[in-house]
C-alpha cells in the first residue's frame, strides 16, 4: 500500500496528461535520474511519441513552485522529462530496474 501511495504522490498533470517527472521515476525505482535519461537518449526508438514529454522552462518553473518534493529541480540546468503511463511501462525502463536489482 505504501508503494502505491508513493506513486500516487508523484503523479502530476502536465499538458493535460498525468505524468511522473524523471527524478521521481528514478527515486521510485532506486536508480539515478541520469540513468533514466541516458536510457531515453540512447534508445529513442523505445520511447515513441506520447511516451515522454520534455518540459519547457515555464513548465519546469510551474513544477518547482507547485510541488515541494520537486524543489531541487530549480538547481538543475536541465529541463526535466515527464513520463506518461505508456512511457513508464516500456520494457526498456523495466530492464534498467531489473539490472539494478540483480547487481545488488
The domain spans of the chain are 2-102
Residue 75 is classified by DSSP as G
DSSP states along 41-74: HH-GGGS-TTSEEE--HHHHHHHHHH-GGGGGGG
Block residue for cell numbers 518553473: 61
Q: What percentage of the chain has pLDDT greater than the value 90?
A: 46
Report pTM. 0.80
| Nearest in space to 21 (alpha carbons), one of 76, 63, 66 | 63
Residue 11 is classified by DSSP as -
Rounded distance, CA 77 to CA 81, Å?
13
26, pLDDT greater than 70: yes
Rounded distance, CA 38 to CA 31, Å?
12
pLDDT in tens, 54-89: 999 999 999 999 999 999 999 999 999 999 987 776
Amino acid at each position: 500500500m505504501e508503494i502505491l501511495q508513493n506513486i500516487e504522490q508523484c503523479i502530476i498533470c502536465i499538458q493535460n496528461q498525468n505524468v511522473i517527472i524523471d527524478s521521481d521515476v528514478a527515486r521510485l525505482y532506486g536508480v539515478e535520474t541520469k540513468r533514466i535519461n541516458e536510457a531515453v537518449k540512447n534508445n529513442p526508438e523505445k520511447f515513441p511519441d506520447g511516451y515522454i514529454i520534455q518540459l519547457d522552462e515555464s513548465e519546469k518553473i510551474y513544477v518547482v513552485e507547485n510541488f515541494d518534493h520537486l524543489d531541487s529541480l530549480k538547481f538543475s540546468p536541465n529541463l526535466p522529462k515527464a513520463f506518461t503511463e505508456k512511457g513508464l511501462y516500456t520494457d526498456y525502463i523495466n530492464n534498467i530496474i531489473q539490472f539494478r536489482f540483480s547487481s545488488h
